[in-house]
Structure 1
Amino acid sequence: MSNSNPSDGKREQPAPSAEPMIERLIFNNRLPLLIVFLVLTLFLGYNAAKIQPDASFERLIPLEHPYIVNMMEHRDDLQNLGNYVRIAVENEDGDIFEKEYMETLEKITDEVFYLNGVERSGLKSLWTSNVRWQEVTEEGFQGGTVIPDGYDGSKDSLEELRDNVLRSGEVGRLVADDFNSSIIYAPLMEKDPETGESLDYRELSQALEQKVRQKFEAQNGNVDIHIVGFAKLVGDLIEGIESIALFALITLVLTTIFLFWYSRCVAGTIVPVLASLVAVVWQLGILRLLGYGMDPYSVLVPFLVFAIGISHGVQVVNAMAIEASKGFDPLTSARLAFRALYIPGIVALVSDAFGFLTLLFIEIDVIRDLAVAAGIGVAVIIITNLVLHPVVMSYIGITKGGVKHVQNHDGKADRKWRLMSYFAHPGVAPVSLLIALVLVGASVYYKQDLKVGDLDKGAPELRPDSRYNMDNSFMVENYSTSSDVLVVMVETPQESCTNYDVLRSMDRLQWRLENTEGVQSTISLADVSKIVTRALNEGNWNWYEISRNQTIINASIRQAPSGLINTDCSLTPLMAYLDDHKAETLRRVTAEVEDFAEGNNDPDKHEFLLGAGNAGVEAATNEVISSAKNMMLVFVYAVVAFLCLLSFRSVRAVLCVILPLGLTSIIAEALMAQMGIGIKVATLPVIALGVGIGVDYGIYMFSKLETYLKEGYPLQEAYFETLRTTGKAVAFTGITLALGVFTWIFSPIKFQADMGVLLTFMFLWNMVGAIWLMPALARFLLRPEKIAAKKK
Structure 2
Amino acid sequence: MNDHLQLPLTDADGELRPALSRALFRARRSLMTLFALVTVFFLWQTSQLQPDASFEKMIPVSHPYIANYLESRADLAGLGNVVRIIVETREGDIFTAEYQELLKQITDEVFYLNGVDRSALQSLWTPNVRWQEVTEEGFVGGTVIPDGYDGGARALEQLRENTLKSGQIGRIVANDFQSAIIVAPLVERDPTTGERLDYHQLSADLERLVRDKYQSENISIHITGFAKLVGDLIDGATLVGLFFLIAFTITGLTLFAYSHCWRLTFASLLCSTVAVIWQLGLLRLMGKGLDPYSMLVPFLVFAVGISHSVQITNHFAHTTFSGLARREAARLTFIRLSKPGFIALLSDGVGFLTLYVIDIPVIQELALVASTGIAVLILTNLVLLPLVLSATGISRRCLAHRVVKDQSHFRHWQWLSRAATAGPARSILVVGLVLLGVGLYFGQFQKIGDLDPGAPELRPDSRYNQDNAYLAAHYSTSTDVFVVMAHTEPQQCGNYPFISSVNFFEGYMSTVPGVQSALSLVDVSKLVIMGMNEGNPLWFDVSRNQYILNNSLARAPSNLRNTDCSMAPVILFLDDHRADTLDGVVNAVESFSAEYPTEAVDLRMAAGNAGVEAATNIVIAQAQDRMLLWVYGVVIALCLLNFRSLRITACIIIPLALTSILGQALMAGLGIGVKVATLPVIALGVGIGVDYGIYIYSALQQKLADGYGLQEAYFEALKSTGTAVAYTGLTLAVGVGTWIYSPIKFQADMGLMLTFMFFWNMLGALVLLPALAWLMQSRKSAVPQN
| TM-score, structure 1 normalization | 0.97
Determine whether 1:210 maps to 2:208. Answer: yes
Whether 1:778 aligns to 2:778 is: no
SS of residue matched to 2:386? helix
**Residue 105 (structure 2) aligns with:** 107
2:234 alignment counterpart: 238
- Determine if the alignment matches structure 1 residue 573 to structure 2 residue 542: no
Encode CA deviations 1:142-173: one digit per residue, 9 max, x unaligned: 00000111111111111111110110000000
Aligned to 2:152: 154
Supply the AA of the counterpart residue of 2:272: S
**Residue 404 of structure 1, CA deviation:** 1.6
Match of residue 511 from structure 1: 507
Cα offset, 1:741, TM superposition: 1.4
Residue 184 of structure 1 aligns with which residue? 182
Mapped partners of 1:617, 1:331: distance in 2: 58
Would you say 1:263 and 2:270 are equivalent positions? no
In 2, distance between residues paired with 1:784 and 1:733?
Answer: 32
Cα deviation, 1:289-318, whole Å, max 9, x if unaligned, reads 011100000000000011111110001110
CA distance in 1, matches of 2:774, 2:37: 50
SS of 1:576's equivalent in the other structure is strand
* CA-to-aligned-CA distance 1:455-494 (integer Å, 9 cap, x gap): 0000000000000000000000000000000000011111
Shift of 1:584: 0.2
* Alpha-carbon offset, residue 787 of structure 1: 6.3
Does 2:735 match 1:740? yes
1:785 deviates by 8.5
Matches of 2:9 and 2:82, distance apart in 1:
68
- In the alignment, which residue of structure 1 is the partner of 2:629? 634
Is 1:288–2:284 an aligned residue pair? yes
Q: Distance in 2 between matches of 1:785 and 1:131?
A: 81
Aligned to 2:424: 428
Which residue of structure 1 aligns with residue 320 of structure 2? Answer: 324
Are positions 1:731 and 2:726 aligned together?
yes
Q: 268, 273, 279: which one pairs with 1:272?
A: 268
Assess if the C-alpha contact under 8 Å between 1:710 and 1:789 holds in 2: no
Give the conservation status (yes or no) of the 8 Å contact 2:86–2:179: yes
Q: Which amino acid in 1 is paired with 2:693?
A: G
**1:21, 1:782 → 2: CA distance?**
35
2: CA distance, partners of 1:503 / 1:86 = 31
Q: CA–CA distance in 1 between the matches of 2:22 and 2:568?
A: 71
Q: Aligned in 2, Cα 1:140/1:637: closer, same or farther, shift over 3 Å?
A: same
Give the aligned residue type for 1:369. E
TM-fit CA distance, 1:600: 4.1
Distance 1:371 1:229 in 2: 27
Distance 1:115 1:283 in 2: 34
Aligned to 1:534: 530
SS of the residue corresponding to residue 486 of structure 1 reads strand
Amino acid at match of 1:636: V
Q: What displacement does 1:565 show?
A: 1.1
Q: Secondary structure at the match of 2:600?
A: coil
Q: Does the 8 Å CA contact 2:9/2:18 hold for their aligned counterparts?
A: no
Q: CA deviation at 1:444?
A: 1.8
TM superposition shift of 1:412:
2.1
Q: Could you report, residue by residue, the CA deviation over 1:254-305 in whole angstroms, capped at 9, with x for unpaired residues?
A: 1100000011111100011010010000000001101110000000000001
Corresponding letter in the other structure for 2:333:
A
Q: Is the 8 A contact 1:96 1:179 kept in 2?
A: yes
1:502-543 CA-partner distances (Å, limit 9, x unpaired):
111111111111111101100000000001011001112221
What is aligned with 1:7? none
Deviations 1:77-119 (A, max 9, x none): 1115220001111111111111111110000000000000000
Letter of the 1:691 counterpart = V
CA displacement, residues 36-64 of structure 1 (integer Å, 9 cap, x when unaligned): 11121111111111110000000000001
Query: How do 1:238-637 and structure 2 match up within 5 A?
Result: 238-602=234-598, 605-637=600-632
Residues 403-423 of structure 1: CA distance to partner in whole angstroms, max 9, x if unpaired?
221122222211111001011
- 1:24 Cα shift? 2.0
User: What corresponds to 2:662 in structure 1?
Assistant: 667
Q: Secondary structure at the match of 2:338?
A: helix
- Residue 78 of structure 1 corresponds to 76
Can you list the C-alpha shifts for 1:555-614, whole angstroms capped at 9, x where unaligned? 001111111011111111010000000000000011111111234454x53210000000
The match for 1:223 is 219
Structure-1 separation of matches of 2:533 and 2:752: 63
**1:641 Cα shift?**
0.4
* Distance change in 2, residues 1:778/1:217 (3 Å): same
User: Do the aligned partners of 1:653 and 1:782 also contact (CA within 8 Å) in 2?
Assistant: no
> Cα offset for 1:740?
3.0
The answer (yes or no) to whether the contact 2:521–2:568 under 8 Å persists in 1 is yes
Shift of 1:662: 0.7
Secondary structure of the structure 2 residue equivalent to 1:224: strand
Please, which of 679, 682, 707 is the counterpart of residue 712 of structure 1? 707
* Counterpart for residue 693 of structure 2: 698
Letter in 2 for 1:663: L
In the alignment, which residue of structure 2 is the partner of 1:167? Answer: 165
CA contact (8 A) 1:2 1:14 kept: no
Secondary structure at 1:20's aligned position in 2?
Answer: helix
Deviation (angstroms), 1:783: 7.0
Say whether residues 1:761 and 2:750 are aligned partners: no
TM-aligned CA deviation for residue 790 of structure 1:
5.9
In 2, Cα distance between the equivalents of 1:682 and 1:17? 45
Give the corresponding residue for 1:6.
none
Change beyond 3 A, Cα 1:146–1:432:
same
Cα contact 1:709–1:784 (8 A) shared by 2 = no
**SS, match of residue 737 in structure 2:** helix
Query: Quick check: 1:174–1:184 contact (8 Å CA) kept in 2?
Result: yes
CA distance in 1, matches of 2:154, 2:620: 56
Question: Which whole-Å CA distance do the structure 2 matches of 1:701 and 1:785 have between them?
Answer: 21
- In 2, are the aligned partners of 1:351 and 1:692 still within 8 Å (CA)? yes
**Structure 2 residue aligned with 1:649:** 644
In structure 1, what residue type is equivalent to 2:169?
A: V
CA separation in 2, counterparts of 1:539 and 1:330? 95
User: One-letter code of the match for 1:398?
Assistant: I
State the alpha-carbon separation in 1 of the partners of residues 94 and 441 from structure 2.
54
1:197 equivalent among 195, 198, 201: 195
Percent identity over paired residues: 55
Superimposed CA distance per residue, residues 753-783 of structure 1 (whole angstroms, 9 cap, x where no aligned partner): 0000000110011000000000000001147
- In terms of mean alpha carbon deviation, does 17-26 or 244-253 score higher? 17-26
Contact 1:424 1:778 in 2 (8 A): yes
Q: Contact between 1:113 and 1:120, CA under 8 Å: does it hold in 2?
A: yes
SS at match of 2:444: helix
In the alignment, is the contact (CA less than 8 A) between 2:701 and 2:785 conserved in 1?
A: no
Point out where structure 1 has 5 or more consecutive residues left out of the alignment: 4-9
Task: Confirm or deny: 8 A CA contact 1:325 1:404 kept in the other structure.
Answer: no
In the comparison of the two structures, how many residue pairs are matched? Answer: 782
Q: What is the alpha-carbon distance in structure 2 between the residues aligned to residue 229 and residue 437 of structure 1?
A: 46
Moved over 4 A (4+): 13-19, 783-791
CA distance in 2, matches of 1:781, 1:17: 31
- For structure 2, the residue ranges without an aligned partner over 5 or more in a row are none
Question: TM-score, length-normalised on structure 2?
Answer: 0.97
- Aligned partner of 1:666: which letter? I
Question: Is residue 715–residue 784 contact of structure 1 (8 Å, CA) maintained in 2?
Answer: no
The residue that corresponds to 2:64 in the other structure is 66
Q: Is the 8 A contact 1:148 1:161 kept in 2?
A: yes
Structure 1 contact 346–382 (Cα < 8 Å) conserved? yes
Counterpart Cα distance in 2 of 1:305 and 1:721: 30
1:18 offset after TM fit, Å?
A: 9.2
Q: CA deviation at 1:447?
A: 2.2
Q: 1:2 Cα shift? A: 11
Q: Secondary structure at the match of 1:765?
A: helix
Letter in 2 for 1:433: L
In structure 2, the partner of 1:721 is: 716
SS of the aligned residue for 1:494 comes to coil
The answer on whether the counterparts of 2:78 and 2:184 sit within 8 Å (CA) in structure 1 is no
Which SS does the other structure have where 2:324 is aligned? coil
